Structure 1
Amino acid sequence: MKSKWKIAISILIVLTVISGVFLYFVFSKIGAFFDDTYHPIETSTKNELHEKTVEEDVDVDQVIHILLMGVDERENDKGRPDVLMVAELNPKTNQTKIVSLPRDTKVKIPGMNKTTKLNHSYTYGDVPLTVQTVQQLLDISVDYYAKVNMNGFEEIIRELGPLKVQNKREFTYDGHHFPEGNIELDQDEVLSYVRMRKDDSLGDEGRNIRQRQVIEAVIEKIIGEKDFVEALGFLEKISPYLQWNIQGKDLKTLYTNYLPSLRAIKQEKLPGEGSLEEDGLWYFRAEEPTSVFQ
């Protein structure tokens, strides 16, 4: 009997040690991920974006807004956002609304006597000024932002696997052919799919539609991930390409209270029209932009 107890206790000790090593591995990976990607920002508009956590400062029933940015960063060039979207997560209705903001949207830059294109706000003041400009344009408070280096987007898709989207029109771009209907995009195709504009009869709006499709497909992939170890590997691979102001404790609260909202996504566009103006530049003029999230 004693020998059986010794064996049982030995097994228990081994399992405890293994579990401890595994948990240390898990928490060190997660901690390193947030250390690498967390970049708090400060703004000075009336809709000031505070450094905060959802758990501490946001009621769990409160609607939150997240600015999503895809930036073409290159060596010695911080680039400009090609992708600008705002996601509104509503835990009361369990719905998410994603609105594309055309990069050529004509805006006033906060704190500057300047009217220009929306993506120029990033040139003048990086993420903080972009956040301020979006807040002013839409009359909302941006609670969080997430910026992805588009040149690393291929690596993200490589880790996630092919994305399923419904292509509304057949086209060929940058050596890749995209038939009409339900298709799968691999890491080599996804950027070509979202960048094509000139051969689309809808122009920028056609590109914005495809961008929203890809973002929704990425969200579906991420929330559907069941393998915890694979998820950790995914975090490690994408950290060089991601910058946001979300901490580990924020993510826990967001996961607990806002995940159901991500299972019902509604895609919308910013209302308005584009035209060539007197300065020879093409602008998108938004119509009643503050009504989008009312």
Structure 2
Amino acid sequence: MLKKKWFIILISIFSVIALGVGVFAFTVYKSLEDTAASMHTPLDRTTSEKRPKEVDFKKKDPLSFLILGVDERPGDRGRSDSMIVLTVNPNDKSMQMVSIPRDTRTEIIGKGFDDKINHAYAFGGPEMSIATVENFLDIPIDYFVQVNMESFKDIVDAVGGVTVENNLVFSHSGFDFTKGTLDLDGEKALAYSRMRYDDPRGDFGRQQRQREIIQGVINKGASISSVTKFDDILEILGNNVKTNLTFDEMVDIQANYKDARHELQQHQISGQGQMISNGTQDIYYLIVTEEERMKLSNQLKEHLSIEGESVAKNQ
């Protein structure tokens, strides 16, 4: 009788735990769904013209993202302070990340003239940014993720901070950064990722630091410890991130592509700075050679399992 009583007590305890886990799981799922709905910003197009067929998540087709770090201002759309292309190949479990310097001179698709690539966002939002990057790299951009840069510090804090390997001693925004392993909270991470003028590599060094912070957020966001902070993370994401990903697509990507995060290769676009007159003033641009552009384009096409090499554009 005593054994039976303890057995009933144990079953009752496990039932309460199971019920609690079920309620928690439903709450998380519902919160995720609501956040995804608030972030969802559909584009006018459904698929890229450079994508011969629609991405099949179940078949684990490689896919690409354009990450836009936008410096938004009241009453002004702002410019994309950062443009990063991320390609994901779940078959070889790898990702490749390419920072596009914001001063890169290229054709702004939809405007018909050459300008700094980050101006595409000011002219036509994410649609024009995507079209311009697709034309520049000759690859499809399947999805975009737009992040308000001012909220970046909150995202870093929500995942418990990030760890980076710093190779340059510098100070910025009141913070001192030494060489070696650094644990950064949100304020420090934002300052770390924004410094440019004191870096001998200029914008290239800044882009490297931005990629490190993004990788740190991805790694921390995927950890078990971040689950307990999901309310904070979701609130920040819902208020400061826009994407054309739907909730169902997010779920499919998480299920089929998550192992790709374990290997990340980072690439830097190189070019030559040049002052070019627009008729009234000289403006600084980064000129990327056709050889450099084609080399990177073909590398990304290979990672996306897209056939055909890029060819030189008419100058």
Alignment TM-score, normalising by the size of structure 2: 0.83
Aligned partner letter, 1:29: S
Residue 284 of structure 1: aligned partner: 286
Residue 252 of structure 1: aligned partner: 251
Residue 115 of structure 1: aligned partner: 114
Alignment of 1:204-243 (within 5 A): 204-226=203-225, 228-243=227-242
Q: Percent identity?
A: 31
Alignment of 1:1-294 (within 5 A): 18=20, 21-43=23-45, 46-47=49-50, 57-58=56-57, 60-226=59-225, 228-279=227-278, 280-288=282-290, 289-292=293-296, 293-294=300-301
> What is the Cα deviation at residue 116 of structure 1?
0.6
CA contact (8 A) 1:33 1:235 kept: yes
Partner Cα distance (1:13, 1:240) in 2:
37
Partner Cα distance (2:235, 2:24) in 1:
16
> What is the Cα deviation at residue 225 of structure 1?
3.3
CA contact (8 A) 1:162 1:186 kept: yes
Count matched residues: 290
> What is the Cα deviation at residue 9 of structure 1?
8.1
CA contact (8 A) 2:37 2:247 kept: no
> What is the Cα deviation at residue 168 of structure 1?
1.3
> What is the Cα deviation at residue 253 of structure 1?
1.9
User: What SS does structure 2 have at the residue aligned with 1:236?
Assistant: helix
CA contact (8 A) 2:158 2:229 kept: no
CA contact (8 A) 1:80 1:122 kept: yes
> What is the Cα deviation at residue 16 of structure 1?
6.6
CA contact (8 A) 2:159 2:226 kept: no
> What is the Cα deviation at residue 108 of structure 1?
0.6
Partner Cα distance (2:165, 2:230) in 1:
26
Partner Cα distance (1:254, 1:247) in 2:
11
Gaps of 5+ in 1: none
Aligned partner letter, 1:220: N
Aligned partner letter, 2:39: T
Aligned partner letter, 2:286: F
Aligned partner letter, 1:37: M
Partner Cα distance (1:114, 1:45) in 2:
22
Cα distance change of structure 1 residues 247 and 185 upon mapping to structure 2, 3 Å threshold: same
Aligned partner letter, 1:86: V
CA contact (8 A) 1:38 1:243 kept: yes
